[in-house]
Amino acid sequence: MSVVAQTPIGTGLTWRSLARHRSARTIVGCAAVALFLVAWQIVGANEIIRSDLISYPSEVAETLISMTASGELGGNLAVSLEEFVQGFVPAIGIGVAAGIAFALSRRLHYLFEPLIVALNTSPIIAFVPIVVVWFGVGTQSKAIMVFLAAVIPIVINTMTGITQVHESWIRACRAFGASKFEVIVKAMLPGALPSVMVGVRLAVGRAIVGLIAAEMYVSVHGIGRLIQVYSTSERAAEIFVLVAVVATFGFLLVTLLRRLESLIAPWSLER
């Protein structure tokens, strides 16, 4: 709609106009996805490639409907969501608190930095077996995995945010007689908020990986459990449904966090 109106006559849809028009970008993006789906449908439905290996969109859609109708999807999704929340919420609280402490205390920083770097660079799913041994096959071990995966990027980005707070913001507060505590509350925390939000967004992806990996390893319920079950029975359509559900969840959560950020820290976008 607005694309047509805003594009000068004769120039058509160029890359430059794409960069300018948000709605045009969305339309082109959707068109690419649609093209892909059509191609997939043709290749899969006509058995150009074995459909039990790659399935095809209409079969995936039917499977989504039947899995939803049977309650299989909803029940397992509820379990996964619960595990996610149980791990992610404490990860934000503890991660932010630890990040602040590490940024403000040189001693704590020196003490914990090697551990954080080690955890940050090691694949978190390697911890699944030991976490299961410690916390059992139930939801607790999954929440712990979510926590472990999420807490590291939150700690690191909170630390970075605090240490990169502009000297001038601190100076302004001090000049008007702010105490050390007031400097933290009025300059450091709000100044670090955009960086904290970056950490939380990064943590979403990592937490989902930790959760699904833990559920796939051993569990009774959950999306990861279903993926594992259907992979042994070679059911491509079901696996695609489950992957799509996980991807949608991650996408929605990150989008929500971006919205939240533009509400609580509108300045960070144009600093």
Partner 1 sequence: MGRLDLEHLSLAYAQRGGTFLALSAVNLSIRDGEFVTIVGPSGCGKSTLLMLIAALLQPTSGAVRLDGRVVTAPGPDRALVFQDFALLPWRTVLANVELGLELKGVPAQKRSEIARRHIAMVGLGAFERSYPHQLSGGMRQRVGIARALAVEPQVLLMDEPFGALDAQIRQVMGSELLRIWERGRKTILFVTHDIDESIYLADRIIVMSASPGRVIADIAVTLQRPRPLEIRNDPAFTAYRQRIWDLLQQEVLASNSWEQSAAEPAAAMPAGAAT
Per CB under 8 A, contacts with partner 1 among 199-228 are none
Cβ nearer to partner 1, comparing 50 with 166: 166
Listed residue (203, 231, 233) closest to 217, CA to CA: 231
Binding mask 156-195 for partner 1 (x = CB under 8 A): -----------xxxxxxxxxxxx---x---xx--xx-x--
Q: Which residues of 183-218 are buried (b: 16+ CB within 10 A; e: fewer)?
A: bbebbbbebbbbbbbbbbbbbbebbbbbbbbbbbbb
**Least CB distance to partner 1 at residue 42 (A):** 50
**Least CB distance to partner 1 at residue 229 (A):** 48
**Least CB distance to partner 1 at residue 263 (A):** 12
State how far Cα 141 lies from the chain centre.
20
116: contact with partner 1 by CB under 8 A: no
Cβ nearer to partner 1, comparing 96 with 245: 96
**Least CB distance to partner 1 at residue 26 (A):** 27
**Least CB distance to partner 1 at residue 177 (A):** 4
Cβ nearer to partner 1, comparing 9 with 175: 175
Q: Are 238 and 230 contacting, i.e. CB atoms less than 8 angstroms apart? A: yes
Cβ nearer to partner 1, comparing 243 with 265: 265
Pinpoint the alpha helices (H) of the chain.
Answer: 2-6, 15-20, 22-45, 51-54, 57-69, 72-104, 106-121, 128-135, 139-163, 167-175, 180-183, 189-217, 223-232, 236-264
270: contact with partner 1 by CB under 8 A: yes
Cβ nearer to partner 1, comparing 140 with 268: 268
202: which residues sit within 8 A by CB, 6+ positions away? 153, 157
Tell whether the torsion through CA atoms of 221, 222, 225 and 226 is positive or negative: positive
How many residues are listed for the chain in this entry? Answer: 271
Q: Which amino acid is at 47?
A: E
Cβ nearer to partner 1, comparing 12 with 167: 167
Site residues, partner 1 (CB under 8 A): 167-178, 182, 186-187, 190-191, 193, 265-268, 270-271
